[in-house]
Amino acid sequence: MTDRDVFLPVGAQPTLEDLVEQAVTAEELGYDRAWFPETWGRDAVTAMATAAERTDEIGIGTSIANIYSRSPALLGQTAATLQEATDGRFRLGVGPSGPIVIENWHGMEFGNPLRRTRETVEIVKRVLSGDPVSYDGEYFDLEGFRLRCDVPEPAPPVDASGLGPKAVELAGRFADGWHAVSYTRDGLTERLADLRRGAELGDRDPNDLRVTVSVSCCALEDGERARELVAQHTAFYIGGMGTFYRDNLARQGYETVANEIYERWQDGEKERATAIVREELRDQMGAAGTSDEAREQLRQYLDLDGLDAVNVSFPRGAGPEEVHETMTALAP
């Protein structure tokens, strides 16, 4: 059975208390895991540590912690500490994010995200093993230290995000799972093949890898409002967050649509970009509408082969009451 997770909007909620209360509610509603993203709002580590103190059973993880703002060794230390804080409920998700965030917010060169992701995953796993870490990489050289505190048992799994074929293949080869975002239902098939190929290159069993797909969801009594929020969210990422999400949609057979959304958004025609999402992608991306409508659309994701978990994610414009209404309507 496919797990049903929840992807909490760390930066968008009015207060940390609102965010932590959403994690508590998710546990009460029976969700399997609460994922915490990290962009340019609240940091995910503080939010997760606070949520760990207020929950008992729900899994907790990052989706994703970027691989530029913390060193791989610090990511390993953080994963070990959060595994302790959650009594074994933690799962680390890492990824490169994108050049807009990394260069304009963190002030770092984006460089080669594939190589840096690989080195980060390898180093984090060595840190979590408790053995001395000796690593000679293109980006990182480590020597002479090991984790000073007790090694967490079990060590938390380390997942990687990825959009393109090579990034997904890398996740299959080196990580314990893949985090997918901004995919149509039909567009997942090719990437799952890339994941399996990566696992084979790493001499690993593809069935041991955990595939988690995030779906932008909004289930409200006002179904029209819900559909508009999800369309706005999708248009923002395709049109306003650089070219990665646009290119990802184009690879899935929507090149003309992806380019038009991007161009309209860049020209300041945000309402038109949003309208294109509603016209061209309403049956393929997201789960939005009334409770019954959104549940049926989410079910189509849950029924896809090759997925281990579907993430109920929320549009960036949704307020706390709308997040709560959606979380309740789409609960397991």
Taking residue 291's Cβ as centre, other Cβ atoms within 10 Å add up to 17
**pLDDT, the chain, mean:** 96
C-alpha 291 chain-centroid distance:
24
Residue 116 has pLDDT above 90, yes or no: yes
Residue 314 has pLDDT above 70, yes or no: yes
Whole-number Å distance between alpha carbons of 206 and 81: 28
Residue 65 has pLDDT above 90, yes or no: yes
**196, 172 contact by CB (below 8 A):** yes
Residue 251 has pLDDT above 80, yes or no: yes
Distances (CA, A) of 237 to 181, 232, 271, 316, 320: 11, 9, 14, 10, 21
The residues, ordered by sequence, that sit 6+ positions from 1 with a Cβ below 8 Å of its Cβ are none
Taking residue 325's Cβ as centre, other Cβ atoms within 10 Å add up to 19
Query: Which domains can be identified in the chain, with CATH numbers?
Result: 3-222+286-329 (3.20.20.30), 223-285 (no CATH)
pLDDT recorded at residue 11: 64
Global model pTM greater than 0.85: yes
User: Mean pLDDT over residues 221-238, rounded?
Assistant: 96
Residue 183 has pLDDT above 70, yes or no: yes
What pLDDT digit, counting tens, does each position of 9-37 carry? 876 788 999 999 999 999 999 999 999 99
CA angle 186, 187, 193 (to 5 degrees): 110
pLDDT recorded at residue 14: 87
What pLDDT digit, counting tens, does each position of 139-165 carry? 999 999 999 999 999 999 999 999 999
pLDDT recorded at residue 161: 97
User: Mean pLDDT over residues 182-202, rounded?
Assistant: 94
pLDDT recorded at residue 84: 97
